[in-house]
Structure 1
Amino acid sequence: MKIAMKLLIVGSAAVIWSCNGQQSKDPTTRADSTNEEMIDSSHAAGAAPAIAEKDAKFAVDAANGGMAEVQLGEMAQSRGADSSVKAFGKMMVTDHSKANDELKMIAAGKNITLPAAPDNEKQKVATDLSSKSGADFDKAYIKQMVDDHEKTVKLFEDAQKDVQDSDLKAFAVKTLPVLRTHLEHVKALKKTK
């Protein structure tokens, strides 16, 4: 019991110390740290954690990407020049908002903390895209969507194999075909631009 208490104190001190660092400003890093702390506390108390660390990490990464897709999709609708880019942006907002809401419900039931906003890297992408308009925006947005969806498809394919939690696994299985459709659609758009 004394060892568990010492581990809890040391772990809490490490979390507090790390939260004072520069990375603590990143919403994804904060969510990951909160989830790790919850899992570590369960281990220290001698209990099995409610969720595996890699499952929580998947949820955080999926939420991060999903929020960014909504943000950039809204931007595409207002800044895009081509009607097909605007329509793709609208599809991103609709589909990713739906998936984000589903993921939030699953995470709440598992006590997983999700980021409140996209991470610093995705915010930088949004800032860069917001400086563009018209055809320049369309080209940069399409390129970003191809890159993002290739990474997201890989994230969800890995989750199908590796995630242990049945609800998160079902979410990955259900969402992956939609993500693949997005990737195919945006690659077709890229060929026309």
Structure 2
Amino acid sequence: MRIPLLIAASLLATACDSPGSDANMAASGVGEAQNDADSALTEEAPTSLAFVQAAAMSNLYEIAAANIALDKAEAGSVRDFAQMMVTDHSKALETLEDAVGSSGQTLALPINLDADHQAKVDILQSLQGAAFDREYLSQQMTAHREALTLLKAYGGEGEIAELRQFAQGAIPTVQKHHDWLEKNTPQPGTAMAGGQAKPTP
């Protein structure tokens, strides 16, 4: 399974921003990070460094976006979903950190959002009401599709057993989120009503 271009771009941004002692980060900075991003596009699974950075960034973004949704979402079901995101992705981030520690590898995890994910959060901050709900759910659908692709790629062929087990264990939860979103994200030409997609008049 291949990693989408958007994930690879995110990996490049986080690889450039995050310190670490991994050999891939030690030499020429941007050039090495570009090599990692290119590799993620052509290999069956991303490198372990690329995987943990992308997985951590995904969780950081999910938590940040969900915290905004808890404050701004109009539909009760969207707020309920956001609470599930905070709970599940906080746990996933802790589990990922534990997996990295158990692996014995020195792999740097990001602690702040990269520019791409911060831009998405900024869009959410600018919206209110039903417009916020639609944008939040749309962003979440994209994010969970990308997360599933990443987890399945590394879970199938990742090089470090502890991280591979993390990926495999995370898939059911992310799939559950994805399935909820497929059911509850309104299609173009529909509006949210009572937490469900309702056709507009």
TM-score of the pair, normalised by structure 2: 0.72
Deviations 1:41-92 (A, max 9, x none): xxxxxxxxxxxx8011101000000100000011111110000000000000
* Distance in structure 1 (CA, Å) of the matches to 2:56 and 2:64: 12
| Mapping for residues 1-193 of structure 1, pairs under 5 Å | 27-31=14-18, 35=22, 36-37=24-25, 54-108=47-101, 109-191=104-186, 192-193=196-197
Q: Secondary structure at the match of 1:110?
A: coil
Deviation of the 1:32 alpha carbon: 7.3
Return the index of the structure with the highest Cα Rg. Answer: 1
**Which residue in 2 is equivalent to 1:10?**
none
% identical aligned pairs: 24
Measured after TM superposition, the shift of residue 188 of structure 1 is 1.1
Q: Compared with structure 1, are the counterparts of its residues 130 and 173 closer, same or farther at alpha carbon in structure 2 (3 Å cutoff)?
A: same
Once the two structures are TM-superposed, the CA of residue 105 in structure 1 deviates from its matched residue by 2.0
* Aligned residues of 1:80 and 1:133 also touching (Cα < 8 A): yes
Contact 1:32 1:60 survives alignment (8 Å): no
Greater CA drift, 143-152 or 105-114 = 105-114
Q: Distance in 2 between matches of 1:31 and 1:92?
A: 24
Cα pair distance change 1:28/1:83, threshold 3 Å: farther
TM-score if structure 1 supplies the norm length? 0.75
Aligned-residue CA RMSD in angstroms?
Answer: 2.3
Query: C-alpha displacement at 1:160, in angstroms?
Result: 1.2
Whether contact under 8 Å (1:65, 1:118) holds in the other structure is no
Q: Which has the higher helix share?
A: 1
Alignment size in residue pairs: 158
* 1:37, distance to aligned residue in structure 2 (A): 2.8
